[in-house]
Amino acid sequence: MIYLATFNWGWLLGAALIGFAMGWIAVVQRGQGWSAVTMRKVAVFVVALILVSAFHLAPGRVGYWLDLGLVMFAVYVAGCAVGSWLRHLVVSRPASAGEA
């Protein structure tokens, strides 16, 4: 893991910045979300990829790219969470006494 962070820090920083930007603007967008079935399928897929990576079932270059992709995905999601949270802190207004 240290190898990935040391030699691919630029890609990880890019994933974090893109995640931050997407988290910042996602609060504004009010589109339809994924259905519960689709969310379960995506969660099962991500867990399967993590298991493949954890048990080293993908050898060589494929395994390296899988590990890097999973780390970049995690950094992206963390950036999304931070961007969304900061947007909420900056943009939200306190509720007046009549609204509560």
Does some domain include residue 22? Answer: yes
Does 100 have pLDDT greater than 60? no
Boundaries of domain holding 34: 2-91
Asked whether the predicted pLDDT for residue 96 surpasses 80, the reply is no
Is 46 among the domain residues? Answer: yes
Buried-exposed string 42-75: b where 16+ CB fall within 10 A, e elsewhere? eeeeeeebeebbeeeeeeeeeeeebbbebbbeeb
In a domain, 97, yes or no: no
- Give the total number of structural domains in the chain: 1
Judge whether 98 lies within some domain.
no
Which residue carries 């991500």 as its tokens?
46
Predicted confidence (pLDDT) per residue in 26-84, tens digit: 866 666 778 999 999 999 999 999 999 999 999 999 999 999 999 999 999 999 999 99
88 pLDDT above the threshold of 60: yes
Q: Are 84 and 14 in contact (CB under 8 A)?
A: no
